[in-house]
Chains A and B, each alone.
Chain A
Amino acid sequence: MTKVAEAIRAANVNGRAALIIYLPAGFPDMATSRACLEAAAEAGADLLEVGFPYSDPLMDGPTIQAASQVALDHGYTPVDDFAMCTELTAAVDVPVLLMTYVNLAWHFGGTDRFGEFARAAFGAGMAGAILPDLPAEEGEAWCRVAADAGLATVFLAAPTSSDERLAAVAERSSGWIYATSTMGVTGERPSLSGMAEPLVRRLRACSDKPVAVGIGVTSGAHARELSSFADGVIVGSAAVRAAESGGPAGVKELVAELAEGCRR
């Protein structure tokens, strides 16, 4: 089992769904983003996802788009993002994954497609990666270098995925399987769609790997709803908004509420 899967199972054994918090590197600035991620870990996040801002984030809604743009406007590059992650992973004892778009991973370090990026992530102490625009059938090259570098890879499953595709997504995923709770981009939603539970059930039928649900998860109440059937709960946009309005203290407050919701 990978370190990432172990962390999720450890939470499950303790009667909780694992809480996974996403925040982008460099928002509102690099030092504050690190402080916010550390605050999330202190307040009860079981795993962290660090977003590496990309110019064309087509899976992201307005909150994460705007935060990414702020980071890019600072002039931060993936090299700066990795430097922050090196400090972050030294300071926290939860697994840290990287989430970004495939072109950044592919382009990093010149012609050694994916390899340099995977090694840099491992070198920064990271445990895995999520590339939301890399579907399973295009994922072979990445998975090979990621496995060589010691990184878990999380693939996405959608309510519209066929059973055949869910099986492929499950097979390729190491760490966990990312079940998207609804059709759409990242962003807070007043209520959850009801598509997540059937999707998780279908994934259970083809895999015993951990399944975490994300997209639209906004509150402790949402976390409670998902914890009844999912192994993990992923929160992004709401955390970004908390970081924006309240800094590390704001993140801590939100994460404490979400962690409470994750108790079964």
Chain B
Amino acid sequence: MTVTAVGHYGRFGGRFVPEALIAALDELDSSFAEAAADPDFLDRLEALQRHYGGRPTPLYFSQRLTDHAGGARIYLKREDLAHTGSHKLCNVLGQGLLTERMGKGRLIAETGAGQHGVATATIAALLGMECVVYMGEEDTRRQRLNVVRMQLMGAEVIPVTSGTRTLKDAINEAMRDWVTNVEHTHYLIGSVVGPHPFPLMVREFVKVIGQEVRASLFEVEGRLPDAVVACVGGGSNAIGIFHPFIEDAGVRLVGVEAGGEGLSGERHAATLSGGSEGILHGARSFVLQDDFGQVQPTHSISAGLDYPGVGPEHAWLADSGRAEYIAATDQEALEGFRLLCRLEGIIPALEPSHAVLPALRIARELGPDAVVVLNLSGRGDKDVDEVSRLLGMTP
């Protein structure tokens, strides 16, 4: 047998998809490998990241959070200041240029919070491509602002009414579209999930986040961080900031999952903390599932983390002990959200809001000589309606 399994992280990863998609995955794999070795492609991507995307994003020393925690110096990686308002654009620019290189003219994407959908609609407008975004019906309600943004840029947003009507079902629907239209369509997956080469390719496009942190911190502190903290849904912003530090054993890597209403019940989305090994959306990883392998409904205050799977490389980092994964509840996320608003004048997305209290706690534990970096993966304009409703604010 000359056809061999590819894209594994330890026992995780792989390609568990219908045969009809394998040719497209092979094409993507080889196109990506060629592009990644092509200086012209890399130059064009770098120029777009800088002049269009607003990279590098600042690494901001947060005096007020540092004072509030009373421990390590806390830095915020300001992905909220990137174009489109989150880290998602760095992956999308890479895959968008790759789509052009493959000669395909139609982009499809899934989106939970809408940040990835907005980023995809953005690159589709920029490159003159057709764009269809699948979004769970429940998410189109709670992230309405992003639906409008996508439509303004010419994307068609299709509400998904199957299953739990959230991110997982949007991915199923995008896969079904892809298997039907694969000849002229690229499925622009927005996280480090899915079959190989997606987890690898997306990581390669987002690891610029961690590379920038490394460079900026050497400039101002002359050293590595003691801990890097990021929220984890599928896990793209976390892999992006973790990856350049994996070989540095002294850097703690802490992923914060959505604890929803608490891990003791079923209403959460903390896959690594509360799930078990399984195969979902084309890769072996951890999954929130019942005893028979039926994928379970999840809950999180943030649509972007409301997902029953997680990227296979995170499963491997958790299993090998290199990274640690904890959970923050809806209430803790809201508290983190409010703290950043009040102490720093920054309205964060609900997703990275999950990582705020854990970052403060780690800063206290590590003490004043240490440095903690929190990945502020997106801005919170999209969440203002939902938060004001949850906090009972009246307009």
Contact = CB atoms under 8 A, between A and B. Distances in A.
Contact of A160 (B15, B24, B163, B168): B24
B385 interface: no
B172 A56 contact: yes
B180 interface: yes
Closest A-B pairs by Cβ, 8 of them: A107-B293, A160-B23, A158-B20, A184-B180, A168-B3, A156-B19, A55-B295, A103-B293
Contacts of B23: 158, 160-162, 165
Contacts of B291: 107
B380 to A, nearest CB: 30
Contacts of A244: none
B49 interface: no
Interface residues of A, number: 45
Interface in B284-326: 287, 289, 291-296
A105 to B, nearest CB: 8
Nearest to A158: B20
Contacts of A136: 1, 3, 19
B61 interface: no
A3 B216 CA distance: 66
A249 interface: no
B295 A56 contact: yes
Given A103-B278, A158-B19, 17 more contacts: A55-B295, A56-B280, A72-B294, A103-B279, A103-B289, A107-B278, A133-B16, A136-B3, A137-B5, A156-B20, A158-B18, A158-B22, A159-B20, A160-B24, A164-B2, A165-B23, A168-B2
Interface of A: 54-59, 61, 65, 69, 72, 77-79, 102-104, 106-108, 132-138, 155-162, 164-165, 167-169, 171-172, 180, 183-185
Residue of A135, A158, A160, A165 with highest tally of chain B CB at under 10 A: A135
Interface of B: 1-6, 14-20, 22-24, 26, 162-163, 168-169, 172, 175-176, 179-183, 276, 278-282, 287, 289, 291-296
A184 B180 CA distance: 4
B199 to A, nearest CB: 15
B18 A132 contact: yes
A103 B172 CA distance: 15
A138 B291 CA distance: 23
B292 A138 contact: no
Given A137-B4, A183-B179, A106 B17 contact: no
B186 to A, nearest CB: 15
